[in-house]
Structure 1
Amino acid sequence: MQVQVVKSKIHRVRVTEADLNYIGSITIDEDLMEGANIIEGEKVQIVNINNGERLETYTIKGPRGSGEICLNGPAARKVAVNDIIIIISYGIMDFEEAKSFKPTLIFPDETTNKLK
Structure 2
Amino acid sequence: MILNLLKSKIHCATVTEANLKYMGSITIDEALMEAAHILPNERVQVVNNNNGARLETYVIPGPRNSGVICLNGSAARMVQPEDIVIIMAYAFFDEKEAAAYKPTVVMVDEKNAVKEIRSIEYHGQTE
TM-score, with length taken from structure 1 = 0.97
Q: 1:88 aligned to 2:88?
A: yes
Alignment map for 1:29-44 (pairs within 5 Å) = 29-44=29-44
Can you list the C-alpha shifts for 1:2-27, whole angstroms capped at 9, x where unaligned? 00000010000000000000000000
Offset of residue 60 of structure 1: 0.4
Offset of residue 104 of structure 1: 1.4
Mapped partners of 2:32, 2:112: distance in 1 = 8
Unaligned runs of 5+ in 2: 116-127
Give aligned pairs, total.
115
| Aligned equivalent of 1:112 | 111
Offset of residue 103 of structure 1: 1.2
Identity, in percent, stands at 57
Mapped partners of 2:27, 2:60: distance in 1 = 5
Offset of residue 37 of structure 1: 0.5
Offset of residue 58 of structure 1: 0.2
Aligned letter for 1:113? N
Ranges of 4+ aligned residues in structure 1 off by more than 3 Å = none
TM-score, with length taken from structure 2 = 0.89
Unaligned runs of 5+ in 1: none
Offset of residue 84 of structure 1: 0.0
Mapped partners of 2:66, 2:97: distance in 1 = 36
Mapped partners of 2:73, 2:111: distance in 1 = 23
Can you list the C-alpha shifts for 1:45-95, whole angstroms capped at 9, x where unaligned? 000000000000000000001000000000000001100000000000101
